[in-house]
Copies of this chain bind each other. A is one copy, B any other.
Amino acid sequence: MQEHHVVVVGGGFGGLQTVHGLKGVPTRITLIDRRNHHLFQPLLYQVATTALSTSEIAWPIRHLFRDRPEVSTLLAEVSGIDRTNRTVHLTHGETVSFDTLVLATGARHAYFGNDAWEKHAPGLKTLEDATTIRRRLLLAFERAELEKTEEVKQAYLTFVVIGAGPTGVEMAGMIADLAKKVLPPEFRNIDTRKTRIILVEAGKRVLPAFTEELSEYSKRALEKLGVEVMLGTPVSDCTEEGVKVGDHFIPARTIIWGAGVQASPAAQWLGVKADRAGRTEVGPHLHIPEDPNIFVIGDTASVQQADGKAVPGIAPAAKQQGDHVAKVIKARLTGKAEPAPFKYVHKGNLATIGKRAAVIDFGKIKLKGVIAWWIWGLAHIYFLIGTRSRLAVAWSWLWIYLSGQHSARLITQRDTLKDEAQPVGKTL
């Protein structure tokens, strides 16, 4: 009999956890990702805001499984899935056949039908997204320094962050810190302390996943850092010149999108039902109703839990789902009883605001301020992969903490600037 073959698509938190959970199970595993690295997305905003460098939060996927000879890693992109013949099709023309398939292909940022905004308001999901935002942030200050027209100068010194979830709040806080603490001594023609950072949110409060009290605290903490918080104000347009909020136009040359996500096309590949956000609907064991051997997990799945509660699109949820799928596969292959249906256990919410404050909601325990910030930092270091990264990130943070200096203030990929919304020569 040929060995059972599990194909996992996606090397994010869910996919990695599935492979980890299958350790010791008699199966061959192929892990497919279109990137060569696993990315620690919770800290991606720190790359975008120059605090960490790319290699501190990304690891070659195949390196993580070097000691597991039964695991093959493929750098390849999926173009479709043939459920009948049980094969995954790759864009370069090959196919990979599977006995069990786990799709953990995540989500991209979404513009709610306004895809034209993407060019002006990049989102933050990949390392390239982060270095793009980093380049735009730094270039905005450089151009303001050269700019003669006061009005254009001010537009370069205005940063609009759309969406007040954790990404938006964390980005706004870090930009404020960069502009008001790190950069002032370095410019001669502009006062970067006069930078406007505007956090625009359609809903009624920042960090809606937290309690109202912590939301209120976070708003005040942001304002203390110099961030203007606009609530209940949906964005109606994003252009090269700025952001339209209702009837009000904010001239701004740098816009960052943190407002919404769209699932990967897993449901489309499978030809099955998806919810409005494009997520594949899966049952209590996280497989599609049509096929018990095809699992969908993480940001690209919509799980129907027994208690009717929604599973949030965060790393711990994806990891728990990866764990569950590994258990189900293991039970089947070793002839044991199936585990109880998947039940998401919410451990808590964390978010930082700038470099001295955070909010934590562990259910019964709620924390804010400096202590929360330290817990946030230690928790994130703990969840990083490998000793080297933990020490490197701890060291980078310690350096920022002691010196007030950011370590990765690089403008790179300069040649691609021509293709971007704000060409170099245009308004200089």
Structural contact, A55 and B138, CB atoms closer than 8 A: no
Structural contact, A62 and B186, CB atoms closer than 8 A: yes
Q: Which of A18-26, A101-109, A201-209, A387-395 contacts B (4 or more CB under 8 A)?
A: A387-395
Structural contact, B428 and A54, CB atoms closer than 8 A: no
Question: Which residues of A256-313 are within 8 A (CB) of B?
Answer: none
| Cross-interface CB contact of A53 among B35, B54, B65, B131, cutoff 8 Å | B54
| Cross-interface CB contact of A93 among B36, B53, B92, B425, cutoff 8 Å | B425
| Residues on B with beta carbons closer than 8 Å to the beta carbon of A34 | 414
CA distance A415 to B75 in the complex (A): 14
A387-418 vs B: 1/0 string, CB under 8 Å? 01001100100010001010111111111100
Question: Given A131-B412, A388-B399, are A188 and B53 neighbors across the interface (CB < 8 Å)?
Answer: no
| Residues on B with beta carbons closer than 8 Å to the beta carbon of A407 | 55, 388, 392
Assess whether A128 is interfacial by the CB under 8 Å rule: yes
CA distance A1 to B135 in the complex (A): 40
Structural contact, B409 and A63, CB atoms closer than 8 A: yes
Structural contact, B188 and A424, CB atoms closer than 8 A: no
Assess whether A145 is interfacial by the CB under 8 Å rule: yes
| Residues on B with beta carbons closer than 8 Å to the beta carbon of A410 | 36-37, 54-55, 58, 60, 127
Q: List 25 A-B contacts (CB under 8 A).
A: A35-B411, A36-B138, A36-B142, A37-B411, A53-B54, A54-B54, A54-B408, A55-B407, A60-B186, A63-B405, A66-B185, A66-B186, A67-B185, A72-B189, A74-B146, A75-B142, A76-B146, A92-B146, A92-B424, A127-B410, A128-B412, A128-B415, A388-B405, A392-B395, A416-B416
Given contacts A65-B186, A94-B428, A416-B416, 12 further A-B contacts (CB under 8 A): A36-B138, A54-B54, A54-B408, A60-B409, A60-B410, A63-B405, A72-B188, A74-B145, A91-B425, A92-B146, A92-B424, A128-B415
10 nearest interchain CB pairs? Answer: A92-B428, A55-B408, A53-B55, A75-B142, A66-B185, A62-B186, A36-B411, A60-B409, A72-B188, A66-B186
